[in-house]
Each structure stands twice: as C-alpha cells, then as structure tokens.
Homo-oligomer: A and B are copies of this chain.
Amino acid sequence: MAVYTDISEVELGALLKEYDVGELLSYKGIAEGTENSNYLLHTSRAAFILTLYEQRVERSDLPFFLGLMEHLAQHGVNCPLPVRRNDGAVVSEIAGRPAALITFLEGMWLRKPAPQHCREVGRAMAGMHLAARGFEPTRANALTVGDWRPLWEKAKPRANEVEEELEAEVEADLADLAQGWPADLPTGVIHADLFPDNVFFLGDRVSGIIDFYFACNDLLAYDIATCLNAWCFEKDGSYNLTKGTALLEGYQSVRPLDAAEIKALPLLARGSALRFMLTRLYDWLTVSDGALVNKRDPMEYVRRLRFHRQISSPSEYGIGLK
C-alpha cells in the first residue's frame, strides 16, 4: 500500500490552473508505488498521474528523474511524459510536497510474468539503455557497492533475528563484492528498480515503463542483473532458466553484451540481490507494522544470494559465453 497524503479538490484545482490539461473531472488516490503518493486524475482531455514525492525522494534529484522521463519519451520509450506547467517548469508543490503531473499509461503489471514477458522486458530495457544515451545530466547510484556496508552496519546487530548465520553470510558477500566489483564495463543510465510492478503490458507487449525514481548512471549490465532477480525466480526461490534465457536473449536482440559484461553477470546478480536484501532487511527491522510503507520479506533475497554464490559460469543464467 502506498504512502498517502490526502489533497483537497480545492488545492488540486488551484494546482491544475498552472497547466494546460483541461478541466478536472475526478481524482483517486491509487495503491501504487511504495515511495510516493499517487493520484489518478481524469480531466476533460485525458488521464494523468499526479505524484507527490514523499520523504524518501530527494527534491534535488527530481530534475534528473523527470528530465530522463521526458528524454526517453521523446526517444521512443513508452514511459510517462512529465507535463510542463504554463511557466515551463515540471516540478510543482502541493500539500507541502514537491509534485509532478505525468501522462497516464494504460497497461497492467504482471503478477506472474511468463517467459515471453521476460523476453519483452529484456528488449524494452535494452531499448531504454540505448535511448538514454543522449541524456546529459548524471546521477550517481546511491545504492551500489560502496553503499552496502554502511546500510549493513545499521541492520547487522539484529540480522540474525531474521535468519540464523545471516551475519556471516553477508560479511563474506560484502568482502567478495568489494574486491571483485567490475569497474570497466559499459555504463549509462539504468532504471535500477525494474521490477514487474514497474512494467505495464497490453497483451504480450510492453506498454509502459514507470517509476524512474531510482534511475542513475551505473553499469548497464547491473540493470540486467536486477531484472534477473526480479523476473526470473519462482515463489519457491528456484531460478527459472527459461525465463532467464528469454530475458537475456530479448536484451541482446537489441543491445548485445560484450564478453566482460557476460563474465561479470554472476557477481552483478549477487550484488543486486544483496542490495535489495539489505534495503528490505533494514525496513523489516525498523519500519513499524502500522506504517503504510510496504514491508517485503528480506528472505526472498537471501535465497537469491545463496543461488548466485554457487554459480560457476554465466551460462547457468541462460547466456552463451563468447
């Protein structure tokens, strides 16, 4: 369930006077996104999403996120287009929070993606990586290898409450990852949170990629690693090789990986699994049960970590070595 800031029809009406979007007909708080409040608006012209940025999003990052969406939308990616205000700006303020109005994308996210959807998301991700190449602003990844140790230190004292021996496992991961993390792979803008709930489908086709609020400049292959974790494991923790193969083939049909990227996949997948395990673990231990922030089980990602540790070759993910 989303964090939720209520807004009145009076303040929303006043805000919409700053835009050329027609007359407001309705607005509903929607249960989407875990970091922000979102409203689905109908106006006399079209449907829109109004996002209110809650505390977890830095205001200073908004020009990067919204500028990226605008750039991608203008370069053929199906993603929301931020609507410019009459004064040219894209960031507004409502209910004491920064906010942006973006176009509404039809489509459904898939609770149970099949292999053909994994192929499509691979293709769409590669297309996004290519389309972002002309985008000039940059943003460092705030949740990459150097950031994991400080996050871990906050969770470590209670980690074994979640799983016996977790502390020792994670310490070993952190050491391996810090030592082996690749530095010379192709970089660019990555989505960094391309989970199924951020990809809409109509039929078997991707109709939209949303929620760019973790986007940053980093290794392109790290985005693939995150997708392998997010799309290709089953509920029981097993890796679905058919889905992984489809995702990697879909990606490579648009942007072939080089040998170094392929070789790095197991370590990147392990790093990405650790990143999501750590943020989940931290929320699990610190967010109260009554809060409206979604708490997700860190154990799902502990199991992925264990899988990636025992990988001896990238081919086990379903990719041919060059």
Contacts and interface: CB of A to CB of B under 8 A. Distances in A.
Nearest to A2: B31
Interface stretch (A66-74, A104-112, A157-165, A246-254): A104-112
Contacts of A42: 47, 106
Contact of A112 (B6, B10, B40): B10
Nearest to A49: B28
A26 interface: yes
A29 B30 contact: yes
A213 to B, nearest CB: 18
A15 interface: no
Q: With a 10 A CB-CB cut-off, give which of A4, A24, A26, A111 has the most chain B CB atoms.
A: A26
A48 to B, nearest CB: 13
Interface residues of A, number: 35
A168 interface: no
Contact of A26 (B2, B107, B110): B107
A289 interface: yes
Q: With a 10 A CB-CB cut-off, give which of A28, A104, A200 has the most chain B CB atoms.
A: A28
Nearest to A28: B30
A8 interface: yes
A47 B104 CA distance: 14
B32 A28 contact: yes
Contact of A29 (B25, B32, B106, B200): B32
A70 to B, nearest CB: 22
A96 interface: no
Contacts of A292: 1
A9 interface: yes
A10 to B, nearest CB: 7
A29 B4 CA distance: 13
Contacts of A32: 28-29
A290 interface: yes
Given A25-B202, A31-B28, A42-B47, A9 B106 contact: no
A27 interface: yes
A116 to B, nearest CB: 14
Interface in A37-62: 40, 42, 47
A249 B25 CA distance: 28
Contacts of A9: 108-111, 201
Q: With a 10 A CB-CB cut-off, give which of A8, A24, A30, A31 has the most chain B CB atoms.
A: A31
Contacts of A12: 108
Interface in A99-131: 104-112
21 contacts: A1-B1, A1-B4, A1-B292, A4-B31, A6-B111, A8-B111, A8-B112, A9-B108, A9-B109, A9-B110, A10-B111, A24-B108, A25-B107, A25-B202, A26-B105, A27-B108, A28-B30, A28-B40, A30-B30, A42-B106, A290-B290
Interface of A: 1-2, 4, 6, 8-10, 12, 24-32, 40, 42, 47, 104-112, 200-202, 289-290, 292
